[in-house]
Amino acid sequence: MNNAISSVIIVGGGNAGWITAAILANKLKNKCAGRVSISLIESPNIKTIGVGEGTWPSMRRTLKSIGVSETEFIKSCNATFKQGAKFVGWVSGAKNDAYYHPLMLAGEDEQFNTLHAWNHQAQPQQSAFSKAFCVQDYICELGLAPKSITTPEYASVSNYAYHLDAGLFTDFIKKHCVEKLGVKQLTDDVIEVKASVENTISAVVTKENGLVSGDLFIDCTGFKRLLINKHYQIPFKSCKTILSADSAIACQVDYANQEQAIASTTISTAQSAGWIWDIGLQNRRGVGYVFASDYISDSDAQAQLASYINNTAGNANYCTFKTIKFEPGHLSKFWHKNCVAIGLSAGFLEPLEASALLLIEMSANTLSEHFPANQSAMQLVADKFNQTFLYRWQRIIDFLKLHYLLNQRHEPFWQDIKQAQSIPQSLQNQLELWRYQYPCVHDFEQAIEVFPLDSYLYILYGMGFKTGYPFKVSKQQKDLLLAQCSDIQLQLDHLINTLEPNRKLIEKIKKFGLQKI
């Protein structure tokens, strides 16, 4: 074991670097009995943009596992509760065009019997899919929180994730890593990469601290990709022909007053050449326009964003707009030699469905679970890691593309993005199958999917997809659907009397705190 992995060097901070450091430090202290040191080199010249960020429920598990208090996290990170996404205008752009992708599951064992009955109603659009299969649609529409002040930390009444300030979150996780998890922090710039005879990275040279040696290097340098791309020249695979958005304009929007309701969902509103995200934090909103520069200029996009802000109880005159350009896509592989890319270094698509932070969590967890015992085992672990994450990136691309395919809008962007030549063959095959039979768990290859079956159901049937299942609806199936809808109504009646508005709960948490588990 004289070639054991004993030191991990993370190059780059931000959410990717510090979340990775936290997950690795927490898991390896038990798995490797403290024999692995973790250091993070963070440039003093790069700041995190805190415009508002969405997470998945997995973030609750991550924070709990690394020993973070949910109360302190909410207080420190301007965090609020997220119970899904609301898509406005994505189908036709008509006045009442909106549907939900909640975070609660869409059904249990009898789901497909009731799905068949719901799908063959005379006018299914009068009973939205998410309303027929999940109470969370109603909870979000009423602006209710997913738990009460007496619900313990990380427990829930309704499944939830978070909205948070990315800059504050980085500082919060960094402090926890250094003070509680033993991660060594170096504030410095990497100016050179040193390689061994075998072409593995042996060290990085920093401006102030000189040579920093290690056994395993993690590239969290964002779009710069200092190690994985600039040093190793690992190719980048663009997917701009599939997902054409390549720009974003982001800003922070003050609430009209401090009593203004905090939305329980990420609100995604379709525009002429993309869509606007709207994330409610405690004292402001994070708002931005994701768009395709081939279809609209930056100035016209900013004008559309300003109009949206002014129409949603904001004042664009007080906003500072930041334009971000990106190439949608990912690396051809994420682990090469002794270097792993996590976060923006690995790739970026668009912020639809908050997949960026989720992929950081999944990458760090996979790395920690399959951490190579020594240099000899590293290539085997790397091969498996690359195989897993190439699959996951492709499934994310498919899922994000699905959001666009069933639109009935007339703008060139929305017409072009659903053309057959831009649809991955894997997604085309699934859609063709689902025209004749309902989606099921067997349509997904891995036990752990980035987006599960329920997510596909919410998007497909939220946008009006029809499955031409050949069998008639039985009386039993109709009765099951009626019973299911009745049960959801009973749940709602109870929750209305149990839960309170998002803002009210956040204020109570800040004052009293949640119960410790």
Cα–Cα distance for residue pair 139/266, rounded to 1 Å = 14
d(Cα 187, Cα 209) in Å, to the nearest integer?
A: 9
Give, in order, the Cα–Cα distances in Å from 63 to each of 12, 267, 274.
Answer: 21, 24, 33
Three-state DSSP at 399 gives helix
Q: What is the mean pLDDT of residues 312-320?
A: 95
Task: Tell me which residue range forms the domain holding 294.
Answer: 247-325
In a shared domain, residues 401 and 435: yes
3-class secondary structure, 98: strand
Q: Does residue 360 form part of some domain? A: yes
Task: State mean pLDDT over 11-38.
Answer: 91
83 inside domain: no
Helix, strand, or coil (residue 332): coil
Residues 292 and 419 in one domain: no
Question: Is 90 exceeded by the pLDDT of residue 5?
Answer: yes
**What digits encode the pLDDT tens for the residues 343-386?**
999 999 999 999 999 999 999 999 999 999 888 899 999 999 99
| pLDDT at residue 142 in the model | 96
Q: What pLDDT score does 25 carry?
A: 96
**Does 71 reside within a domain?**
no
Residue 157 lies in a domain: no
Contact of 121 with 467, CB cutoff 8 Å: no
Residue 332 is assigned to a structural domain of this protein: yes
Residues 6+ apart with CB under 8 A from 77: 162, 164, 165, 168, 169, 172
The length of the chain is 517
Query: How do residues 383-419 score in pLDDT, each as one tens digit?
Result: 999 999 999 999 999 999 999 999 999 999 999 999 9
- Pair 332, 218 in one domain: yes
Does 431 share its domain with 287? no
The closest of 338, 323, 342, 386 to 225, measured between CA atoms, is 342
Q: Classify residue 508: in a domain, yes or no.
A: no
Say what percent of the chain tops pLDDT 70. 96
First-residue to last-residue Cα distance in the chain: 40
Query: 352 and 298 in one domain?
Result: no
> 381 with 364, same domain?
yes
Q: Does residue 123 lie within any of the structural domains?
A: yes
Domain count, the chain: 3
Any residues with CB less than 8 A from the CB of 379 and at least 6 apart, and which? none
Which residues share a beta bridge with 501?
144
Supply the pLDDT for residue 1.
Answer: 46
Task: Check residue 155 and give its pLDDT.
Answer: 96
Distance in angstroms (rounded) separating the CA atoms of residues 498 and 492: 10
Q: Do the domain assignments include residue 149?
A: no
Q: Which CATH number do you get for residue 252?
A: 3.30.70
Query: What percent helix, strand, coil does the chain show, rounded to 5?
Result: 40, 20, 40
Q: Are residues 409 and 492 in the same domain?
A: yes
pLDDT per residue over 271-305, tens digit each?
A: 999 999 999 999 999 999 999 999 999 999 999 99
Q: Tell which residue, 458, 333, 341, 364, has the closest CA to residue 406.
A: 458
Residue 254 and residue 303 share a domain: yes
Q: Which residues contact 489 (CB under 8 A, 6 or more apart)?
A: none
- Cβ neighbours for 14, distance < 8 A, ≥ 6 positions apart: 46, 48, 166, 170, 220, 222, 343
Residues 460 and 342 in one domain: no
